[in-house]
Amino acid sequence: MSSRALAIALLLAGCADLERGPRPLEPDAGPDAAPSEGGAGDAGSSFAAVYPLIDSGCKHCHMTGGMAGDTKFLLTGDAMTDYAAVRALVDPANPAGSRLLAKASGQGHQGGTIYRTSSPEYAALLAWIQSGAAP
């Protein structure tokens, strides 16, 4: 593969974790999907309970020097610092419509799907937002 083809392939891959498989054409459920029972959806209603999902799912691209390091959504690895960045993407008045969930499920996200809407991780994020997105 030529270096140009490799560069194009890497650009098209975005910041998706290649171990998660190919990007689906559409999310597997709408943003109004109900949280699943059990699993990460019962993680609690504090940011500390869902921060590991943000850290592992987003930070590798959304950090200074990362593939999405030039976006407004930047993570540092410090939960209290990152809370403000994450909180700016949630809407407790319309939890399922929160930009964080849309991006995580691949809607308008160059990095593809991070968490499917049917996943326990998505359910945990939705539950946190529904409970008020507390720190």
Instruction: Collect all residues with Cβ–Cβ distance below 8 Å to 56 and sequence separation of at least 6.
Output: none
Distance between CA 77 and CA 54 in Å, rounded?
10
- Ramachandran category for residue 38: left, alpha or beta (phi over 0 → left; psi -120 to 50 → alpha): left
Average pLDDT over residues 16-28: 41
Check whether 47 has a pLDDT greater than 70: yes
Q: Average pLDDT, stretch 93-105? A: 97
Record the pTM: 0.69
Tell me, what's the pLDDT at 121?
97
Quick check: 41 and 120 in contact, CB under 8 A? yes
Res 119 pLDDT > 80: yes
Contacts of 10 (CB under 8 A, 6+ apart): none
Decide if pLDDT at 6 tops 70. Answer: no
- In angstroms, the CA 128 to CA 119 distance is 14
Beta bridge partners of 105: none
23 pLDDT above the threshold of 90 = no
Model confidence at 50, pLDDT cuts 50, 70, 90, reads very high
**Model confidence at 116: pLDDT above 70:** yes
**What pLDDT, in 10s, does the model give residues 51-75?**
999 999 999 999 999 999 999 999 9
The yes-or-no verdict on residue 32 having pLDDT over 70 is no
**Closest listed residue to residue 75, CA positions, set 95, 91, 54:** 54
Query: In the structure encoding, which two tokens stand for residue 31, read together?
Result: 């943003």
